[in-house]
Chain A
Amino acid sequence: MAESSPVDDSSIASEVAPLLTFTGVSKRFPDGTTALDGVDISVAPGEFVSVIGPSGCGKSTLLRIASDLTRASAGSVDVQTRKIGYVFQDPTLLPWRTVQGNVELFAELRHLPKAERRRRADAAIALVGLSEFARHRPRALSGGMRMRVSLARSLTLQPELFLFDEPFGALDEIARERLNDELLQLYLTQRFTALFVTHSVNEAVFMSTRVLVMSGRPGRVLADFAVPFEYPRPPRLRFDERFARLAGQVSARLRKGGG
């Protein structure tokens, strides 16, 4: 069970029905490994919740279950929206399509009319600042730009719940911080709810309203830290003393591990 966080925060309205609720969710794979073991998570609309934990603790499985790509072996999952965005660690762009074509893909798969597809893609590409690269193929872009394309692609469907699976894990520090800033900007303007899986404590604390710490396999939620900083969060927040203290606490909990 999750222990209460050192930084208590009761400001998040508890009367709003959660957008995503996991109750005692477990996942065992056919090969016998247990990825998740009795996970309880509740995400209210508008929250930005990060999940951090050691490799192989089932963080990705959590997202796969939330998006219905995988079924839970036990427990119940309740997702109050069908408008789900999912961003993988790999940008998963189609190399034969241009940026424009890639961003239009989801709307295309959902059979939206061509003009509407175009309009949404144009808007999404502009949102991530890639308008002048709309006709480029992915291989002409840097890693950070590809990730922006991947974000834009999901934005076209105006998701209410955004699932992020270590989206910036493969990027260098500078690109990662810049994309953190940009994603937060999108979070504020597009008003989605986010479940964000990451390896980086700093990233988790910088982005989120809450940080969940998970144990190693089988994954359980060990701690739930509320992050009290106001949005918009300036990049210099990363050098703030309170930020460092909170990151330190999350880190310590992560190191202590299960038990």
Chain B
Amino acid sequence: MSIDTDLTGPDEAVARGPIEATSRVAPGGRGRWLASWGPPAALFVASIAVWYGVSYLLLDPRRRFLVPPPHDVIQVSFLDPFNLRELLSALWLSTRVAFTGLAISIVLGLALAVAMSRAKWIERSVYPYAVLTQTIPILAMVPLFGFWFGFGNFSRVLVVVLFCIFPIIANTLFGLQSVNQEHHDLFTLHGAGRLTRLWKLQFPTALPSIFTGLRIAAGLAVIGAIVADFFFKQGEPGIGILIDRYQSRLQSEQMVGAIILSSLLGIVVFWFFGFLARRVVGGWHESAGGLDTESN
């Protein structure tokens, strides 16, 4: 029974924290790199092989245009300067439309979610219509927008907003409302007003889910921009119009090239928001990490 009164600091503390953090890095960087990039790389190679297989083994040469082999796609779409310029300028237009729509959705979505979190009656009146943006057949609405607002970029941006605002509203609202009661009590005890509470408590709490919403919305924005374009079939050509045009002219190499480019755009945007999420909330929230679990 030789416990003494000595109140030295947190010994347990020394045993945790930094040491734990360093030991986690230990398993060799190379092995980890291979483990995280190996499988997708292998799958990529396998898909290319299957693609070649279908082009050369499955299809009769006369029908090979249905699935042109990868090198033909690259040759025609990306190595021909004229075709490439056409693709890139269309991609640039679609990117602008997608980003404008996304930016509007973010501002509008966040504002609506904040308003809904402030007052139950606002939530009750707005939410059904937010859901409606998901349930109305947007594809059917697209031509209608063309009639109403013309076939310019305004209508396309509108379609993008309809496509991607819901996940932003829903995830932001969920995040703002998921503050636990004790944190609220804490702020109440110290006389925090509604704005302080929103800015210093609810908003940071909501950040991880806001980013989840943004990542989903970003992918949808790209799809929305292309879909609008595809259905309008007129105006300055974006990727959607090109795809439609190549389809009607049986230019399958360029069609696949356009699809590849637009997918890449979606991936880049999705990845960008993942990266942003890791930078902003990765230090304190688990969900922010993508495949890796880097922290601090």
Q: Which residues of A contact B (CB under 8 A)?
A: 64, 67, 69, 84, 86, 88, 90, 92, 94-96, 105-106, 108-110, 129-130, 133, 136-142, 144-145, 148, 175, 181-182, 185, 232, 234-236, 239
Residue from A69, A96, A136 within 8 A of B185 (CB atoms): A69
Residues of A close to B295: CB separation below 8 A: 139
- Known contacts A232-B5, A234-B4: does B10 contact A145 (CB below 8 Å)? yes
Residues of A close to B207: CB separation below 8 A: 96
B186 near A: Cβ within 8 Å?
Answer: yes
Determine if B186 and A92 form an interchain contact, defined as CB atoms under 8 angstroms apart. yes
Question: How far apart are the CA atoms of A141 and B180 in the complex, in Å?
Answer: 20
Residues of A close to B21: CB separation below 8 A: 140
- Known contacts A133-B17, A137-B283: does B12 contact A144 (CB below 8 Å)? yes
- Known contacts A94-B204, A129-B10, A181-B5: does B190 contact A139 (CB below 8 Å)? no
B89 near A: Cβ within 8 Å?
Answer: no
Q: What bracket does the count of chain B residues touching chain A fall in?
A: 35 or more
Q: Please name 29 pairs of A and B residues whose Cβ atoms are closer than 8 Å in the assembled complex, sorted by A.
A: A64-B185, A69-B188, A86-B186, A94-B183, A94-B201, A95-B284, A96-B281, A96-B283, A96-B285, A105-B186, A105-B190, A105-B200, A108-B200, A109-B187, A109-B190, A109-B192, A109-B200, A129-B8, A130-B9, A133-B13, A136-B17, A139-B295, A140-B17, A141-B17, A144-B10, A144-B12, A145-B13, A175-B12, A234-B3
Residues of B close to A142: CB separation below 8 A: 12-13, 16
B189 near A: Cβ within 8 Å?
Answer: yes
Chain A nearest CB, measured from B151 CB (Å): 45
Question: How far apart are the CA atoms of A95 and B280 in the complex, in Å?
Answer: 13
Chain A nearest CB, measured from B179 CB (Å): 10
Determine if A234 and B17 form an interchain contact, defined as CB atoms under 8 angstroms apart. no
Determine if A145 and B12 form an interchain contact, defined as CB atoms under 8 angstroms apart. yes
Q: What 1/0 flags go to B49-77 for Cβ under 8 Å of A?
A: 00000000000000000000000000000
B293 near A: Cβ within 8 Å?
Answer: no
Determine if B182 and A109 form an interchain contact, defined as CB atoms under 8 angstroms apart. no
Closest to A95 in B: B284
Residues of B close to A69: CB separation below 8 A: 185, 188-189
Chain B nearest CB, measured from A33 CB (Å): 17
